[in-house]
Amino acid sequence: MNKTIIITGGSKGIGRSIAIKFAENNFDIYTCSRNKNELIKLQSDINSINSNIKVNTLKCDLSTKEGSLKFIDFIKKNTNKIDVLVNNVGTFVPGKLIDEEDTALENMININLFSNYWVTKGLVSMMTKKKQGHIFNMCSIASKVAYANGGSYCISKFALYGMSQCLREELKEYNVKVTSVLPGAVRTGSWDGTILPDERFINPDDVSNSIYSSYRTSKGATIEEIIIRPQLGDI
């Protein structure tokens, strides 16, 4: 029987790379996105890589509690086990606290924190009951180092990192591992239009390879944090 991975925001960027990496290693894939066409393409691409796994996708918006609950219900109706949960959904809008839009903090907390909070709350019992599983929370180097023009994004990522630390402590006794992933600038669509060369960034595959490697550690070991930064420093 194939193992199962749940990925929020899996249709592009880091999420897509994670989906492909685990599909190559015979995991059934469950993911979601707000873009149906991107989900269709992901499903087609994965099926061409490995036809022996299931790829289940759902169009929904995790920035709302209702959307998160819809995704949770979708998962529970289609599988009774979770081996890996990757809380990947997130957004970045640059701005300074002193002059950013008044809605900036609420929007980024909803997407970068609450979406991951609700999905984890809704699905974690599927892991604790079986006393196995691994949760990866896609934080950021901004979870530890504030920077100019980071504003509400930094706040939301600091909060997600705190949530990840709490989960790590709470889930030890259930043999559920928790890893915080803290990448620097990754060359995804959010950087389209930049004049910087791709080599100045982290490749999404660097992140997915590190996550898979961390998942493969022995039962008694946990990699609590993965920090990946551009070789020449943060951007």
**Residue 86, CB half-sphere, CA atoms under 13 Å: how many?**
31
Ordered strands of the 134-138 beta sheet? 55-59, 27-33, 3-7, 84-87, 134-138, 177-183, 225-228
pLDDT at 188: 86
What is the domain count for the chain? 1
**What range defines the domain where residue 110 resides?**
3-228
pTM of the full predicted structure?
Answer: 0.96
For residue 125, tell me if it sits in a domain: yes
For residue 234, tell me if it sits in a domain: no
For residue 42, tell me if it sits in a domain: yes
Considering only the C-alpha atoms of the chain, give the largest distance between any 2 of them, rounded to a whole number of Å: 53
pLDDT at 187: 86
215 burial via Cβ count (<10 Å: 0-12, 13-18, 19+): buried
The list of the chain residues with pLDDT below 50 reads none
pLDDT at 134: 98
Q: Rounded to whole angstroms, how far apart are CA atoms 94 and 77? A: 38
Report whether 62 contacts 89 (CB < 8 A).
yes
Q: Give me 231's structure tokens.
A: 């070789």
Give the CATH number of the domain where residue 223 resides.
3.40.50.720
Residue (of 146, 126, 111) closest to 8 by Cα position: 111
Q: How many CB atoms lie within 10 A of CB 10?
A: 30
Q: Give me 220's structure tokens.
A: 């008694």
pLDDT at 28: 98
Q: Rounded to whole angstroms, how far apart are CA atoms 222 and 178? A: 8
For residue 120, tell me if it sits in a domain: yes
Residues constituting the chain: 235
pLDDT at 97: 87
pLDDT at 190: 72
Q: Rounded to whole angstroms, how far apart are CA atoms 211 and 226? A: 8
83 burial via Cβ count (<10 Å: 0-12, 13-18, 19+): buried
